[in-house]
Amino acid sequence: MTAQSTTAQTTPARAKVAPASRPAFVADGAVVPSGTAATRGGAPYATVPVDYDAVLLLGFGGPEGQDDVIPFLRNVTAGRGIPDERLEEVAHHYRHFGGISPINEQNRVLRAALAADLAARGHDLPVYWGNRNWAPYLDEALQQAYDDGHRTILVIATSAYSSYSSCRQYREDLADALEATGLEGLVEIDKVRDFFDHPGFVTPFLEGIREGISALAERGVTDLANDVEILFSTHSIPTADADRSGAPEDGFGPGGAYLAQHLAVAEHIVAELGAAAPWQLVFQSRSGPPQMPWLEPDINDVIAELPARGRRAVLIVPLGFVSDHMEVLWDLDTEALQTAAEHGIVAVRTASPGAHPAFVAGLADLVEERLHGAPPEERPHLTALGPGYDVCRPGCCENTRRGFRPALAGVAP
């Protein structure tokens, strides 16, 4: 057999799985729910080889037609009591593109590429794919893997950084799916580490910025030091969530691991490029009530201020994103580029990793380091903050509005 891509069959228009109603299953003598022998003891790094028999790519999900948009947004906002008329205010982003988010097709491509890479390395590991908020749903993918005979599964979430929405919530979804399928105690599930500073994730951004500099030169902008600003953009999150991102024991302070990780990667990229252009970390895609503080500055506000500082061009780098999904296509390619045009700023948006060969190879490397039980000192990382933990630490990435819910791949709470 060779590795293959596998997708669960599903009916798209359904509500996401309800939150787990009880603590996640923990084997006798273990502290990590449903973990393998390498992780169940709670050590931060899994240094015991594990014979995983499947990989599960865990995505966010997105609508694939106009009729899907509101049901999808209901899933995204489940539990918040947001009426459909307010959801429709966001729905127009999707409706502008025919109700289709590119994220599912991007994950189909990524899944196939990862399966091919693993097969080329001689690993007989089928790659399943399930989403948090739309078809194919996570619980269905997990059930399919079990029905196919797989019992030891390694999960890759399509998010690189530490925060509630980009890490812990995926871990909660895994606990929810286990309870919903009744597979607690029947399968073992681990998750790969945060890969924010893995070379496979960072290399595509480096290449993209170099290509962006060339694109600016073709448009007559060559003085990087005086004319260009590099804007590293990521998703804004509530400052309370940012402050609590990462492991409390690491003591990151304001902005938590989420802010520190983005800044560290941006600093590495700028140093590697040797580019003279100034840069900033900026934020996008803010939502929620206006009285709730979120990370700032907003990318559009920053672009509007650039002419007063003598800048005439901007490179927009989607540093917080794995692929060119809706929040890249709308918030950057539509809104941010429009803001740049309104203020006479030449703007180029660089590519996200997508299915770049380096990124695909990097994900395969993450699988192999868990197959082999690689010690942390042998794991690739480009900043002093890495490598990330295999087993999330107690109390990491707290969401104060929801509290600590059952989650896999970490030590409670």
pLDDT digits (tens, 9 = 90+) for 123-159: 999 999 999 999 999 999 999 999 999 999 999 999 9
Q: Mean pLDDT over residues 371-377, rounded?
A: 98
**Residue showing tokens 């798209």:** 12
**May I ask the CATH architecture of the domain 199-349?**
3-Layer(aba) Sandwich (3.40)
Domain ranges of the chain: 5-195+356-378, 199-349
- At 2 the pLDDT is 47
- The token pair at 212 is 């962006």
CA-CA distance, 313 to 292, in Å (whole number)?
A: 32
**Residue showing tokens 């891509």:** 5
**May I ask the CATH architecture of the domain 5-195+356-378?**
3-Layer(aba) Sandwich (3.40)
Give the relative orientation of helices 256-273 and 199-218 as an angle to the nearest 10 degrees. 50
**pLDDT tens track for 31-41:** 999 999 999 99
- At 281 the pLDDT is 98
CA-CA distance, 347 to 317, in Å (whole number)?
A: 11
What pairs with residue 272 in β-bridges? none
pTM to 2 decimal places: 0.96
Percentage of the chain exceeding pLDDT 90: 90
| pLDDT at 111 exceeding the cut of 70 | yes
The closest of 81, 97, 111 to 8, measured between CA atoms, is 111
CA-CA distance, 391 to 325, in Å (whole number)?
A: 28
The closest of 213, 155, 233, 165 to 188, measured between CA atoms, is 155
Q: Mean pLDDT over residues 241-268, rounded?
A: 97
| Candidate from 7-21, 54-68, 357-371 with smallest mean pLDDT | 7-21
The reply to whether domains 5-195+356-378 and 199-349 share a CATH topology is: yes
